[in-house]
Structure 1
Amino acid sequence: MNKVGVIGAGAWGTALACAMQRAGNEVLLQAYEPEVAEAINRSHANPIYLPNTNLNPNIRATSDLIDIIGSDVILMVAPAQHVRATCKALRPIWKKGTPLLICAKGIELDSGLIMSEVVGEELPDVEIGILSGPTFAIEVANALPSACTLAMKEMDRAMIMAKVVGSSRFRIYASDDIVGAQIGGAVKNVLAIASGMASGKGFGDNARAALITRGISELTRLGVAKGAKPETLMGLSGMGDLTLTCNSMQSRNFSLGVALGHGEKLEDILKVRKAVTEGVFTARSVCKLAASLHVDMPICKAVNRILNEGADINEVVDDLLARPFREEI
């Protein structure tokens, strides 16, 4: 049995704790709020972030980051914009040789760095893996069949780690494309907001299908420019995650887009949400990264204009639809 530590007791961190426990591991889940850790230990539930879900009593929780350091493997499930600060806190206490699996999906706002680059700056000697795929937290927590990509620098290490975290209900597919596994997970959040806006505006299924398909094209262009393998972006952590997130109200990003399409204000939507909607932050950082790599991403730019530049949603849609016809590539 391996000791697995999970940093971040939001919905996804809690669901991953469930998956790790079912895989036969001893699991310790770290929560930033002491009351969340207390609820998990006392009532075996996380009513704030994953309500109406019973947790296995063998999943223990703590609010102290240092308690995680004794783990054989650690999963980083802090929100993407908090990963650097979490790594800074871990640096003086990190146990050499402990692999860190990054489960946060996003691109850092100020730097435009993907999560492996952020971790590499703060914990330069750590062995990094990326765990990403089309997974809604509630379904993973309830042991519904799911699958993920686990990418590490060396394929044999990815295969070894897959046996630690995977199970029959949480299937793991190994990869050595760390960059590709991250680009898909980050960009799909922005595209899901666009898909939600299309639904909220009542544009129909044809428009959403076209948007998702052109979104895959944007995602792939950025990934390849960053050094990813195109086939990774057609897999679970790319097209798979995008397809899931762009088509369901379970997605925080899609549902936010729907609300925007209905005419609600962004600040009003976020005001009542406890969980982080990563695409709101990632829209700006994706555009920053795309500009640095000279990659054209019109859908992501459109979302960023609406979210962060105060652009009118109807005008932005009209601008997108008025783009010149071009060859499909």
Structure 2
Amino acid sequence: MIFIMGAGAFGTALAISLAQDGNVTIWARDALHAEDMGRHRENRKRLPGVPLPDQIEVTSDLHRLSPANTVLLAIPTQKLRAALHTHASKLAGATLVACCKGIELSTGKGPVQIINEVLPNAKAAILTGPSFADDIARNLPTALTLACADDAIGEALQQELTTPNLRLYRTTDVIGAELGSALKNVMAVGCGTVIGAGLGESARAALVTRGFAEMGRMATALGASAETLSGLSGFGDLVLTCGSQQSRNFRYGFSIGQGEVFDSAVTVEGAATARAVRDIAHAQSLDMPITNVIASLIDQELRVDQAMDMLLSRPLKEE
């Protein structure tokens, strides 16, 4: 039995895909939300129009959860630590797969690092890569990265979580997978800002390219493999989120470029991550000009025209 903690769009989409091969339980924090999903057989709040297969049970109670279960944590990174503390007695010793992307603002840690810190006896992994919830829920194909420090556990998870529309590639480079999936959100905010401000497709392409260079610079400095950043969890997800309005981070950046207020009810991992990355880069003396500018735009310390002037007036150098 696979448990998915988190009844948002992505958690629901993963459940729909995994239900092709067996029973899945979705846990919702809100009992009313769980009841509504169970009654209508649809996540009307987060993924409307997509029916839930009969193999999916929705609950707000973790009473059936045991250490023998694989638990997918589809919980925003900034809320992950609190959820793990709250349900520590149920999750201790289980196999926990983070399905969130970001860096914790208060500590600078990624999802697997948070799991290892709060629940050191759990077996931790991360599932990430180019994946929009709507695509997965409608059984459209994609490929993802499954990163686990223990390759034997990673191989077992790869077999368990692969579905007809989800092809999983595994790696032991957890740091690379965490950072690739987190840093691409920052660049997606930047690309949304570029398009929202009407700066053009050429500017977006330039930002993606130079942003990817920044991603690699930070990741390798923190112990990741450059090869991981060039894979699905880094470059693959970067391409997806920097070019589509389906990306919440892109839409958030687009609103900045347009000078509009973004819906505060929508989770935007890239906002907190940009601030966290700026702090890490400063502490590590890393040159991250695009990230710094995006963080300043998010904090309303710069206007878009000022941000572009800062980037374009930097000293010329070799690529």
Q: TM-score, normalised by structure 1?
A: 0.93
For residue 56 of structure 1, what is the aligned residue in structure 2? 53
**Alpha-carbon contact 1:28-1:68 (below 8 Å) kept:** no
C-alpha distance in structure 1 between counterparts of 2:69 and 2:218, whole Å: 34
For residue 204 of structure 1, what is the aligned residue in structure 2? 200
Residue 117 of structure 1, CA deviation: 1.4
C-alpha distance in structure 1 between counterparts of 2:161 and 2:96, whole Å: 12
Percent identity of paired positions between Structure 1 and Structure 2:
38
Quick one: which of 72, 94, 103 aligns to 1:107?
Answer: 103
Structure 1: tracts of 5 or more residues without a match:
none
Residue 25 of structure 1, CA deviation: 2.8
Q: State whether structure 2 residue 164 is matched by structure 1 residue 168.
A: yes
Residue 324 of structure 1, CA deviation: 1.1
Q: State whether structure 2 residue 137 is matched by structure 1 residue 137.
A: no
For residue 229 of structure 1, what is the aligned residue in structure 2? 225
How many equivalent pairs are there? 319
C-alpha distance in structure 1 between counterparts of 2:179 and 2:259, whole Å: 30
1:57-76 superposed matches below 5 A: 57-69=54-66, 72-76=69-73
Q: Which amino acid aligns with 1:277?
A: V
Cα deviation digits, residues 88-140 of structure 1 (max 9, x gap): 012223352x2111111111111111111111111011111110000000000
Structure 1 residues 293, 228: CA separation in 2 closer, same or farther (over 3 Å shift)? same
Structure 2: tracts of 5 or more residues without a match:
none
For residue 270 of structure 1, what is the aligned residue in structure 2? 263
For residue 312 of structure 1, what is the aligned residue in structure 2? 303
For residue 80 of structure 1, what is the aligned residue in structure 2? 77
C-alpha distance in structure 2 between counterparts of 1:261 and 1:223, whole Å: 28
Quick one: which of 129, 148, 151 aligns to 1:152?
Answer: 148
Following superposition, which runs of at least 4 residues in structure 1 exceed 3 angstroms of deviation? 65-71
Residue 87 of structure 1, CA deviation: 0.8
Q: Which amino acid aligns with 1:305?
A: S
**Alpha-carbon contact 2:241-2:250 (below 8 Å) kept:** yes
SS in 2 for 1:171: strand
Residue 69 of structure 1, CA deviation: 3.7
1:26-41 superposed matches below 5 A: 26-41=23-38
Backbone CA RMSD of aligned residues: 1.4
Name whichever of 171-180 and 291-300 sits farther off.
Answer: 291-300
C-alpha distance in structure 1 between counterparts of 2:148 and 2:66, whole Å: 21
